[in-house]
Amino acid sequence: MDGAGQPASDLLLVSGSPWGVSAPDVAWSGSQYLAVYHQAGRWQTSILAARVSALGEMVGDPILVRGPSWPGPGWPAVVAGPGGEFLGLWDENADGFIPNIYAQRVSAAGELVGPALLVGSALLPPDQDPAAVAYGDGLYLSAWEEVDPEVSPYPDYDLRGRFVDPGGALPGPILDLAMGPGNARCRP
């Protein structure tokens, strides 16, 4: 959008996947956007990212953040951080059953920075839906919904979070942001 609230350019095709694209999120670094999305493929899924200029033009090729794999990653979130860097967050069924929460740093040049970080690991209740990540006061804060399927007749939903240092460290433990029996869905 331009300063008058009008579209700055025509529609931009970020992905032409015949299998489907879903769960987009976008962040602005002050010089470019990074759009992250879940892309389905035949029996596999991936997390991809696309850099878009302030003029609405694609910058380089799409970035493969994670995948393709099955059962694969899904539900990404993204935020801009220092120096034009971004942090992407998603859930992934790495063991085929219980989803964990992962994060990946992406440079302003569109390159992956370091390995993917395991931010939240579910040993009993599955972690899912990393709906939010924010940057402030020198740290990223990730947040995700966690469901305990052992609670009947309806699952118990809690909200967890964890700080991520811009250098890729995980300072401190997983945080209990909203806990308790009978919580409704708490997607941030």
The pair of three-digit structure tokens given for residue 37, joined into one six-digit string? 């999305």
- What span, in angstroms and rounded, lies between the C-alpha atoms of 47 and 67? 6
Backbone angles phi, psi at 100, to 5 degrees: -115, 170
At which residue do the structure tokens 């970035």 appear? Answer: 63
pLDDT by residue for the chain (188 residues), tens digit each? 555 655 555 544 455 555 566 678 899 999 999 999 888 776 677 888 999 999 989 999 999 888 777 666 677 889 999 999 999 988 877 666 667 888 999 999 999 999 999 888 765 555 566 667 889 999 999 988 777 666 655 667 778 889 999 999 999 998 988 776 655 555 44
Q: Which CATH number fits domain 21-178: 1.10.1200.10, 3.40.50.300, 2.120.10.10, 3.90.1150.10?
A: 2.120.10.10
* Extents of the domains making up the chain: 21-178
Residue 64 is given by DSSP the state E
Which residues contact residue 75 at a Cβ distance below 8 angstroms, ignoring those fewer than 6 apart?
A: 23, 38, 90, 91, 128, 129, 130, 131
Report which residue type is found at 85.
E
What distance lies between CA 43 and its chain's CA centroid?
21
